[in-house]
């Protein structure tokens, strides 16, 4: 039996649907995810785990479902409505191709700059869609929040939830009672840290190490790590190798057996730390194994000390300086000074010619009406002269300087490169900068204020093919500096064998000339070799110096920036040489992406700290 609905009943039903839709929209936006359908194309955009962060990358996830019979190119842009200005990101976009009846998932990488706005904009085959995807953006690079973010998996969240929250509450109450609420852990809150609970299970986590760089520590259980797919395991291992901190919660003494790839990359053995936790250094970072009981026993003071120690360990990958300080460390204007005196002289000459001289001459010729065309003509000529003078004095092509240190593990073929690059362009580069999708790019602009409002300009980035920093990153006659950190697989190596006389024979397979080489064998004996051409070989000479501890070398490399590290390595490379390692001072920085393709001059200083299977 059918029931007829009158206007009042229908209007009430419509109201109910509208209210339900509004509540659903608010829920999805507040939950950090939104979905919109466009005639057979469904687009979902998800924000990263809810957290306030001050460094690293925030990674969004986009999923596009194509229910049509034709392939589609879908572009998602964040935010749809931007209110960013100053040093900030005004547009972050990515395009994916979705086959008929297919699904495509991709990530949008937000570098460490604030991005203010709401919702996501969608284009399908270049056509802008009217409806927006509802979305709340991540609270990233925000100076207001609840202290340092700790990413917890679902399993780790169940272990930590009650204890951590109670400890933070007790700490806040104690500080308020003492009259000194702010603890200096970041943000405006008096809480040293907060849990960023992962919205996805570990087997759906990102395989890109950049997704974890906005967190102080990443915590998960042994079971979750054991069951993680290879891509996730590799992403977490790269994150640790680049200076990250990973905590594995569990009691299983067989953990080393469950982590064979981690063990091969380890630069230290498992060692006991405070609270009976076990720690192992992997590259520049650290893996810690801790039981649930150990974490549950931490009180407010214990958590505060733990967060403070963790901040000290990641200082190298989270440091950021002002634009002026960056120019002081890596000067870009010393050879490219703006020709102020010449331009000032031309302006004075222009003023005299277009004014008094022009009027006097035309008055003498009784042609004062000619002022109507002589003034713009003189202005045009002088504008061309100023442009020509600028081009002749500075050229038109950009210049760059790079300082880099690479930690190359020949046993695993993994290379972690810490770089610091400066650019100077007489004219704004039309194509911007380009880097790979696994390079962490940190612009040096800590003097831009809480939200970048004090100076700078909005910037745009597209991450369809790597990271295309398209607009606002390098502008004419303004030095721009970036801290770069890359993790990648590399096949370059030094082939080192034991010579008949007991020394070491070295073949340079790094692809670049070596200016100086210090190396240490498995017994701790140190050797030195003079310059070696690319592909060349040499017999290293034995020197009487004591090798240093490998773990201390990794600690020094992780805590200090690329410039200071390269300075120290060039002055005293033997202080960074441990058993089965070498220090090679190079003529070029090929392990660092240049960023710009049309560089007229690229000054580089580079050092490789390599690990090899030391000759017995």
**Residue 198 CB: number of other CB atoms within 10 A?**
23
What's the pLDDT score for residue 253?
60
Backbone angles phi, psi at 261, to 5 degrees: -65, -35
Dist. CA 369–CA 106, nearest whole Å:
66
Select the highest-mean-pLDDT range: 310-319, 405-414, 546-555, 597-606: 405-414
pLDDT band of residue 20 (cuts 50, 70, 90) is: very low
Residue 79's SS3 state is coil
What's the pLDDT score for residue 321?
87
What's the pLDDT score for residue 3?
35
Query: Span 365-372, mean pLDDT?
Result: 86
Return the higher-pLDDT residue of 394 and 518: 518
472, pLDDT greater than 90: yes
User: Which residues of the chain does CATH 2.60.40.1150 include?
Assistant: 30-136
pLDDT band of residue 27 (cuts 50, 70, 90) is: very low
175 to 170, 195, 313, 466: CA distances (angstroms): 9, 20, 25, 45
Task: Decide which of 1.10.1140.10, 2.60.40.1150, 3.30.300.30, 3.30.1490.20 is the CATH code for 30-136.
Answer: 2.60.40.1150
pLDDT tens-digit series, residues 426-451:
889 989 999 999 999 999 986 554 44
Lookup: tokens for 444: 């040096």
What's the pLDDT score for residue 230?
94
Select the highest-mean-pLDDT range: 92-96, 187-191, 315-319, 403-407: 92-96
Dist. CA 13–CA 1, nearest whole Å:
19
Q: Report the predicted TM-score, pTM, of the whole model to 2 decimal places.
A: 0.86
Task: Decide which of 3.40.50, 3.90.550, 3.10.350, 3.90.580 is the CATH code for 148-318.
Answer: 3.40.50
What's the pLDDT score for residue 320?
84
For the chain, helix (H) and strand (E) counts, in that order, are 15, 33
What's the pLDDT score for residue 530?
86
Return the higher-pLDDT residue of 522 and 14: 522
Return the higher-pLDDT residue of 461 and 393: 461
The dihedral sign for the CA sequence 409, 410, 413, 416 = positive
pLDDT tens-digit series, residues 369-388:
888 888 889 888 888 887 77
Lookup: tokens for 180: 């000194």
Q: Are 137 and 90 within 8 A, CB to CB?
A: no
Query: Span 285-292, mean pLDDT?
Result: 90
What's the pLDDT score for residue 26?
39
Q: How many CA atoms lie within 13 A of 172 on its CB side?
A: 15
pLDDT band of residue 157 (cuts 50, 70, 90) is: very high
User: Which residues of the chain does CATH 3.40.50 include?
Assistant: 148-318
Residue 248 CA to its chain's centroid (Å): 24
Return the higher-pLDDT residue of 465 and 477: 465
What's the pLDDT score for residue 9?
41
454, pLDDT greater than 70: no
13, pLDDT greater than 60: no
Query: What pairing do the DSSP bridges indicate for beta strands 537-543 and 526-529?
Result: antiparallel
Dist. CA 139–CA 121, nearest whole Å:
19
Query: Span 381-407, mean pLDDT?
Result: 83
Dist. CA 418–CA 410, nearest whole Å:
17
pLDDT band of residue 5 (cuts 50, 70, 90) is: very low
Question: What average pLDDT does the chain have?
Answer: 85
Q: 222-226, 283-287, 500-504 — which is least confidently predicted? A: 500-504
Q: 170-174, 323-327, 575-579 — which is least confidently predicted? A: 170-174
What's the pLDDT score for residue 21?
39
Instruction: Give the 3-state DSSP-derived string for 446-481, with helices as H, strands as E and coil as C.
Output: HHHCCCCCCCCCEEEEECCCCEEEEECCCCCCCCEE
pLDDT tens-digit series, residues 199-232:
899 999 999 999 999 999 999 999 999 999 999 9
pLDDT tens-digit series, residues 226-264:
999 999 999 999 999 999 999 999 876 656 666 777 877
């Amino acid at each position: 039996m059918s029931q007829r609905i009158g206007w009042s009943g229908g209007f009430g039903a419509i109201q109910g649907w509208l209210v339900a839709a509004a509540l659903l929209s608010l829920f999805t936006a507040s939950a950090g995810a939104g979905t919109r359908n466009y005639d057979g194309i469904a687009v979902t955009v998800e924000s990263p785990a809810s957290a306030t962060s001050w460094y690293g990358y925030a990674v969004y996830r986009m999923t596009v479902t194509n229910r049509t019979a034709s392939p589609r190119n879908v572009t998602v842009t964040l935010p749809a409505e931007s209110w960013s200005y100053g040093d900030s990101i005004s547009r972050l976009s990515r395009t994916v191709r979705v086959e008929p009846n297919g699904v495509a998932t991709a990530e949008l990488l937000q570098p460490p700059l604030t991005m203010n706005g709401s919702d996501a904009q969608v284009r399908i085959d270049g056509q802008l869609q009217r409806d927006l995807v509802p979305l709340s953006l991540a609270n990233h690079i925000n100076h207001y929040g609840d202290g340092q973010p700790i990413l917890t998996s679902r399993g780790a969240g169940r272990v930590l939830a009650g204890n951590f929250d109670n400890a933070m509450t007790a700490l806040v109450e104690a500080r308020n009672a003492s009259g000194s609420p702010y603890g200096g852990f970041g943000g405006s809150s008096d809480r040293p840290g907060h849990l960023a609970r992962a919205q996805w299970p570990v087997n759906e986590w990102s395989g890109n190490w950049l997704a974890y760089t906005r967190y102080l520590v990443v915590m998960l259980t042994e079971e979750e790590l054991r069951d993680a797919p290879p891509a996730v395991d590799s992403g977490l291992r790269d994150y640790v190798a680049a200076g990250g901190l990973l905590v594995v919660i569990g009691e299983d003494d067989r953990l080393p057996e469950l982590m064979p790839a981690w063990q091969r990359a380890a630069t230290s053995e498992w060692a006991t730390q405070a609270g009976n936790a076990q720690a192992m250094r992997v590259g520049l970072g650290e893996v810690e194994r801790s039981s649930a009981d150990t974490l549950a026993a931490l009180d407010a003071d214990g958590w505060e000390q733990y967060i403070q120690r963790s901040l000290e360990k990641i200082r190298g990958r989270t440091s950021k300086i002002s634009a002026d300080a960056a120019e002081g460390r890596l000067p870009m204007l010393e050879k490219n000074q703006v020709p102020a005196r010449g331009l000032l002289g031309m302006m004075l000459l222009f003023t005299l010619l277009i004014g008094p001289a022009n009027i006097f001459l035309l008055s003498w010729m009784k042609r004062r009406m000619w002022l109507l065309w002589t003034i713009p003509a003189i202005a045009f000529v002088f504008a061309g002269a100023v442009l020509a003078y600028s081009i002749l004095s500075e050229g038109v092509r950009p210049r760059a300087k790079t300082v880099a240190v690479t930690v190359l593990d020949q046993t695993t073929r993994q290379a972690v490169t810490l770089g610091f690059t400066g650019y100077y362009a007489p004219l704004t580069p039309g194509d911007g900068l380009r880097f790979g999708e696994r390079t962490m790019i940190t612009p040096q602009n800590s003097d831009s204020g809480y939200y970048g409002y004090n100076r700078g300009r909005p910037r745009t980035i597209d991450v369809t093919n790597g990271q295309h920093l398209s607009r606002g990153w390098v502008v004419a006659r303004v030095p721009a500096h970036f801290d770069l950190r890359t993790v990648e697989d590399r096949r370059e190596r030094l082939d080192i064998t034991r010579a008949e006389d007991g020394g070491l024979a070295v073949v340079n397979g790094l692809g670049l000339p070596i200016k100086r080489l210090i190396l240490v064998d498995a017994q701790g004996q140190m050797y030195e070799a003079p310059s070696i051409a690319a592909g060349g070989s040499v017999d290293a000479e034995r020197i009487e110096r004591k090798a240093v501890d490998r773990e201390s070398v990794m600690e020094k490399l992780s805590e200090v920036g690329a410039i200071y590290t390269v300075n120290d390595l060039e002055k005293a490379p033997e202080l960074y040489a441990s058993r089965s390692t070498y220090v090679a001072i190079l003529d070029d920085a090929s392990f660092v992406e240049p960023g710009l393709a049309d560089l007229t001059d690229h000054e580089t200083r580079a050092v490789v700290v390599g690990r090899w299977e030391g000759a017995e």
